Amino acid sequence: MKFVIDDKIPHIREAAGLLADEVVYASGAQFTPDLVRDADALIVRTRTRCHRALLEGSRVRFIATATIGFDHIDTDFCRQAGIRWENAPGCNAASVEQYVQSALWQWSIGRGTRLKGLTIGIVGVGHVGSRIARMAREEGMHVLLNDPPRAAAEGSDAFVGLGELAEKCDIISFHVPLQREGGNRTFHLADEDFFRSLRRNPLIINTSRGEVIDTRALSDALTDRRIADAVIDVWEHEPDIDRTLLKNAYIGTPHIAGYSADGKANATRMALDAVCRFFRLSPAYRIAPPPPPQPLIEARSREEALLRIYNPMNDSLVLKAHPERFEQLRGNYPLRREAGAYDIRILTP
């Protein structure tokens, strides 16, 4: 059995070697028809486009993507070709929550704004959006939820329309999958009309997919001060991102919100577990991230402690200084652990 695996997926080499007779590692851009022709399974990230041009004529039977999103997989072609696939839903939800929470605290400090009492709108209430909503309530914020598919399926009055978010929210955070067509289309969900409908000069956060927000409309809204600030982790046309938007964003990072070591380990484990289920293999591996170099955090407050553990402003400063290194910064992201990996001690006066 032969696997072809993205070489940026962490903690996978020893484990994969226990499952396959042959394992080939390559960068996402190096996945070619010749490379995958005699592979039984692919384990990929979003940088590998798993479409007809790559897969047709191959013996690939299964694709595991170590990501929540799967818009890089041509699901229609895979169905026609009899290729099964699985993604890793929720694998990095806690990591994205850490990113958004830290970004909110950094923003509140930098702009002199208290989070308590503000109204946040969550667009997309799945694995990630649900965690963001819970975190926001714990911060004393009012939470409005927007999720048309869930609203239709559940018939619940817990959800409101996008127009109500535009009218009432001080912060709007996007957590939807990318859907280019259909009734639940999210491509350019936040377009010029959306930004013109805003009433409260909100902070906009996008950690979902770059194409969910129209870049020009967002950039114009920042310039015209129709929005207060933007926290952008995902971009249209990555890695060729809009330099003006990056410059003007309060925080701009290279698609790493879900890149905690904990989230990466979860994604790797879920991808390998999916491969084992499909090929009826016995998992005999343990996937765990390394410990943080300084596991003890002493601080005067919980907020200070968690910002010391991770502050996305640091990633933003590096990207703003070197936007041409987008892929390098993303592909060689340093160790980042979530709060549970630390011993946090709050110092009393």
Cis peptide before 177 (omega within 30 of 0): no
255 catalytically annotated: yes
Count of all residues that appear for the chain in the document: 349
Instruction: State yes or no: is 238 an active-site residue.
Output: yes
DSSP string, 136-150: HHHTT-EEEEE-HHH
Q: Contact, 177 vs 71, CB < 8 A?
A: yes
Distances (CA, A) of 198 to 105, 154, 167, 255: 23, 27, 6, 26
Structure tokens at 61: 């039977």
CA 156 distance to own-chain centroid: 27
Which of 11, 131, 175, 209 is the catalytic position? 209
Secondary element (H or E) of residue 97: helix 93-111
Instruction: Give how far the C-alpha of residue 37 lies from the chain's centroid of Cα atoms, to the nearest Å.
Output: 30
Interatomic CA distance for residues 108 and 19, integer angstroms: 48
> Is 175 one of the catalytic residues?
no
**Is-contact 315 254, C-beta < 8 A?**
yes
Give the CA radius of gyration of the chain.
21
Q: How far from 213 is each of 123, 145, 206, 223, CA to CA, in Å?
A: 12, 18, 8, 16
- According to DSSP, the β-strands at 84-86 and 41-44 are unpaired
Q: What is the DSSP string of 158-217?
A: TB--HHHHHHH-SEEEE------SSTT--TTSB-HHHHHT--S--EEEE-S-GGGB-HHH
H helix or E strand, kind and range, residue 220: helix 215-223
Per annotation, catalytic residue among 47, 188, 226, 255: 255
Considering 37, 51, 84, 238, which one is annotated as catalytic? Answer: 238
- Which of 300, 287, 297 has the alpha carbon at shortest distance from 340? 297
Which residues are catalytic, by number?
Answer: 209, 238, 255
